[in-house]
Amino acid sequence: MPTTKIYHNPRCSKSRSALALLEERGAPFEVIRYLEDPPSAKELLQIARLLGIKPAELARKGEKLYKELGLADQQLTDKQWAAVLAEHPQLIERPIVVTGGRAAIGRPIENVEAILDR
Protein backbone atom coordinates (compact mmCIF):
# COMPACT_ATOMS: atom_id res chain seq x y z
CA MET A 1 0.00 0.00 0.00
CA PRO A 2 1.44 3.40 -0.97
CA THR A 3 2.54 5.66 1.83
CA THR A 4 2.43 8.74 -0.40
CA LYS A 5 -0.86 10.48 -1.16
CA ILE A 6 -1.59 13.37 -3.48
CA TYR A 7 -4.77 15.37 -3.04
CA HIS A 8 -5.25 16.12 -6.72
CA ASN A 9 -7.40 18.28 -8.96
CA PRO A 10 -6.77 17.29 -12.59
CA ARG A 11 -7.92 20.73 -13.80
CA CYS A 12 -5.09 22.45 -11.89
CA SER A 13 -1.73 22.80 -13.64
CA LYS A 14 0.19 22.81 -10.33
CA SER A 15 -1.58 19.63 -9.31
CA ARG A 16 -0.76 17.99 -12.64
CA SER A 17 2.89 19.03 -12.19
CA ALA A 18 3.03 17.44 -8.74
CA LEU A 19 1.44 14.26 -10.09
CA ALA A 20 4.02 14.14 -12.90
CA LEU A 21 6.81 14.57 -10.33
CA LEU A 22 5.50 11.61 -8.33
CA GLU A 23 5.26 9.53 -11.51
CA GLU A 24 8.86 10.45 -12.42
CA ARG A 25 10.05 9.32 -8.99
CA GLY A 26 8.49 5.91 -9.58
CA ALA A 27 7.48 5.25 -5.97
CA PRO A 28 3.93 4.03 -5.36
CA PHE A 29 1.38 6.69 -4.46
CA GLU A 30 -2.34 7.11 -4.09
CA VAL A 31 -4.24 9.77 -6.02
CA ILE A 32 -7.13 11.29 -4.10
CA ARG A 33 -9.40 13.39 -6.26
CA TYR A 34 -10.45 15.50 -3.33
CA LEU A 35 -13.29 17.26 -5.16
CA GLU A 36 -14.96 13.88 -5.75
CA ASP A 37 -13.78 12.22 -2.52
CA PRO A 38 -13.24 15.02 0.00
CA PRO A 39 -11.08 14.42 3.04
CA SER A 40 -12.90 14.42 6.36
CA ALA A 41 -12.53 17.24 8.85
CA LYS A 42 -10.36 14.90 10.93
CA GLU A 43 -8.08 14.22 7.93
CA LEU A 44 -7.82 17.95 7.22
CA LEU A 45 -6.79 18.63 10.81
CA GLN A 46 -4.09 15.97 10.45
CA ILE A 47 -2.90 17.41 7.12
CA ALA A 48 -2.72 20.91 8.60
CA ARG A 49 -0.70 19.54 11.54
CA LEU A 50 1.74 17.84 9.14
CA LEU A 51 2.04 21.08 7.19
CA GLY A 52 2.64 23.03 10.39
CA ILE A 53 -0.21 25.43 9.66
CA LYS A 54 -3.70 26.23 10.89
CA PRO A 55 -6.60 24.71 8.92
CA ALA A 56 -7.63 28.25 7.93
CA GLU A 57 -4.37 28.47 5.97
CA LEU A 58 -5.52 25.56 3.78
CA ALA A 59 -8.31 27.74 2.37
CA ARG A 60 -8.10 29.31 -1.06
CA LYS A 61 -9.04 32.84 -0.08
CA GLY A 62 -9.38 34.04 -3.67
CA GLU A 63 -12.23 31.66 -4.45
CA LYS A 64 -15.65 33.19 -5.08
CA LEU A 65 -17.20 30.73 -2.61
CA TYR A 66 -14.84 31.93 0.14
CA LYS A 67 -16.28 35.42 -0.27
CA GLU A 68 -19.88 34.17 -0.63
CA LEU A 69 -19.61 32.28 2.66
CA GLY A 70 -18.20 35.37 4.36
CA LEU A 71 -15.26 33.38 5.71
CA ALA A 72 -12.94 36.37 5.93
CA ASP A 73 -15.28 37.96 8.46
CA GLN A 74 -15.68 34.90 10.69
CA GLN A 75 -13.67 33.82 13.71
CA LEU A 76 -13.67 30.04 13.34
CA THR A 77 -11.89 27.44 15.44
CA ASP A 78 -9.54 24.95 13.81
CA LYS A 79 -12.27 22.29 13.99
CA GLN A 80 -14.80 24.65 12.40
CA TRP A 81 -12.37 25.49 9.58
CA ALA A 82 -11.75 21.80 8.96
CA ALA A 83 -15.51 21.20 8.81
CA VAL A 84 -16.00 24.06 6.32
CA LEU A 85 -13.21 22.73 4.09
CA ALA A 86 -14.56 19.17 4.27
CA GLU A 87 -17.98 20.45 3.23
CA HIS A 88 -16.56 22.72 0.50
CA PRO A 89 -13.46 20.94 -0.87
CA GLN A 90 -13.11 23.41 -3.73
CA LEU A 91 -11.73 25.78 -1.08
CA ILE A 92 -8.78 23.48 -0.26
CA GLU A 93 -5.34 24.55 -1.49
CA ARG A 94 -3.89 22.20 -4.06
CA PRO A 95 -2.08 20.02 -4.59
CA ILE A 96 -1.22 18.56 -1.22
CA VAL A 97 1.27 15.69 -1.03
CA VAL A 98 1.59 13.64 2.14
CA THR A 99 4.44 11.17 2.63
CA GLY A 100 6.38 9.68 5.49
CA GLY A 101 4.80 11.84 8.17
CA ARG A 102 5.38 15.04 6.17
CA ALA A 103 3.18 17.12 3.91
CA ALA A 104 3.58 19.92 1.39
CA ILE A 105 1.38 22.17 -0.67
CA GLY A 106 2.74 22.03 -4.21
CA ARG A 107 2.84 25.79 -4.78
CA PRO A 108 5.66 25.92 -5.76
CA ILE A 109 6.53 22.36 -6.85
CA GLU A 110 9.82 22.66 -4.96
CA ASN A 111 7.82 22.21 -1.74
CA VAL A 112 6.91 18.69 -2.88
CA GLU A 113 10.45 17.96 -4.04
CA ALA A 114 11.73 18.94 -0.60
CA ILE A 115 9.61 16.37 1.26
CA LEU A 116 10.32 13.65 -1.30
CA ASP A 117 14.08 14.21 -1.06
CA ARG A 118 14.24 13.75 2.71
Catalytic site positions: 12
3-state secondary structure of 7: strand
Buried b (16+ CB within 10 A) or exposed e, 39-68: bebebbbebbebbeebbbebbeeeeeebee
Where would I find the H helices in the chain? Answer: 13-25, 41-51, 64-68, 78-87, 110-116
